Structure 1
Amino acid sequence: DVKRGKWEAPELLKEAKSFINKHKDSNTKIGKLRYMAVEDKASGTGLIQSISKQTTLPIRAIQRSTDKLSRTMDVILYVEERRVWLPANAPWLLNYIEEIEGLTADWTHDHDDQWDPTIDAINDSLAKKPTVFD
């Protein structure tokens, strides 16, 4: 599912809780929501602190230590090999594909806010090497 927007802190918390409540017990077709990943930067840091106290769902703070181009190069092979699955009938799919296809090598494109969480998801589900603790 996709929820997009720019919200101030109180509204951001409300939107995050709404998303969690919508998905925490449902969506059995592709599995239930196991955690919420939030970039630990700017308003995300405040959201992590606030929402962690208000939900039992694990909140995963995402720290990004490399630039977007490097992170893209780390996962692009998974996309090229067609190992990334997108739900064919999702109402957000066309907008998502247009945004991703609009990415430019010099990063002068208008939007790329869906690409960071896509990179995170690919890293988490495909690129991360499993350990005995996984």
Structure 2
Amino acid sequence: TADYSACVTIGQLEERGPNGELPGLYLLHAWHGRVSFSELKRQAKQFARQFRPDAVVIEDAASGQSLLQELRIDTDLPLQPVKVAGDKLVRAAAAEPTISAGRVMVPEGAPWVEEFLREVCAFPAAPHDDFVDSLVHAIVHLRSDPTYNWRRWVRDQAIIAAARDYSAEAAALRFGMEVDEIEEIVRDYDDAGRELIEEYERRSRLHDPYWRCYHCGQEIVPGTSVTDNMIHRFHKDCATKRRQLGLPI
């Protein structure tokens, strides 16, 4: 009977999210099973298509070595082989500070969460530790590799170029992805570009007195109503306050 194989997918949030999400590592998915090598390879490709990871970290030992070799031939995934050193307890100790600090978030209600937590919380006394191994590899990689965003950027640039030079369909075929995934990458890139331009313009305004209220010193957002005396500009509310206080406008 084959040993258990496992895969965990981790996302990293470096700053507080738009809805108040805390910075840290977010467990997006966890899977394990006793499967044949061909099924293991199929699962690896499926998860890569689903989550579009910045790095696919695979233990360079046992079946992991064969999986790395096969995926290098069949895919252009951002593979990251990792050599194991020391026993499992020593390796787990490297990830323990991150977990103890509450920086690993686990979703409530996911169908796989209960089994995942049962194994991780019982380590090293649990009958299996495949989830623990995968989690440790992911945490150590994310905490030690500052270039993963760069690899993602390079890959996305290649995808965007293929989509624009040819078509989304051609890019999907080239990168083994769905057309809607390609379109989403291009759309996100365009949106991010607009946001960067807007942010650059906003930051430029912050250093220009013309775009600051002379009364409160806060930014005057383009398109909002202002009071302008040809020398200084004021928010409407600030101009009203100045009149009430008898201050010049």
Equivalent positions of 1:56-95 (< 5 A) are: 56-95=76-115
Query: 1:125: Cα distance to partner?
Result: 2.3
Q: Which of these residues, 122, 126, 133, is aligned with residue 139 of structure 2?
A: 122
Q: TM-score, normalised by structure 1?
A: 0.77
User: Which has more helix, going by share of residues?
Assistant: 2
Paired residues of 1:71 and 1:119 also in contact (CA < 8 A): yes
Residue 113 (structure 2) pairs with residue 96 (structure 1): no
Query: 1:54: Cα distance to partner?
Result: 1.4
Amino acid at match of 2:133: D
Query: 1:130: Cα distance to partner?
Result: 4.8
User: Which has more strand, going by share of residues?
Assistant: 2
Give the Cα–Cα distance (whole angstroms) in 2 for the partners of residues 82 and 99 of structure 1. Answer: 18
Give the Cα–Cα distance (whole angstroms) in 1 for the partners of residues 110 and 92 of structure 2. Answer: 24
Paired residues of 2:31 and 2:112 also in contact (CA < 8 A): no
- Aligned residue in 1 for 2:45: 17
Q: 1:10 to 1:35 in 2, by over 3 A?
A: same
Query: 1:49: Cα distance to partner?
Result: 0.4
Q: 1:80 to 1:52 in 2, by over 3 A?
A: same
Unaligned runs of 5+ in 1: 25-32
Query: 1:70: Cα distance to partner?
Result: 0.9
Amino acid at match of 2:37: A
- Encode CA deviations 1:18-45: one digit per residue, 9 max, x unaligned: 2222222xxxxxxxx1121111111111
Paired residues of 2:57 and 2:138 also in contact (CA < 8 A): no
RMSD of Structure 2 on Structure 1 (CA): 2.0
Query: 1:129: Cα distance to partner?
Result: 7.2
Give the Cα–Cα distance (whole angstroms) in 1 for the partners of residues 62 and 49 of structure 2. Answer: 24
- Aligned residue in 2 for 1:27: none
Q: Secondary structure at the match of 2:80?
A: strand
- Aligned residue in 2 for 1:3: 31
Amino acid at match of 1:6: R
Query: 1:119: Cα distance to partner?
Result: 1.0
Q: Secondary structure at the match of 1:88?
A: coil
Q: TM-score, normalised by structure 2?
A: 0.44
Give the Cα–Cα distance (whole angstroms) in 2 for the partners of residues 14 and 84 of structure 1. Answer: 28
Larger Cα Rg: Structure 1 or Structure 2? 2
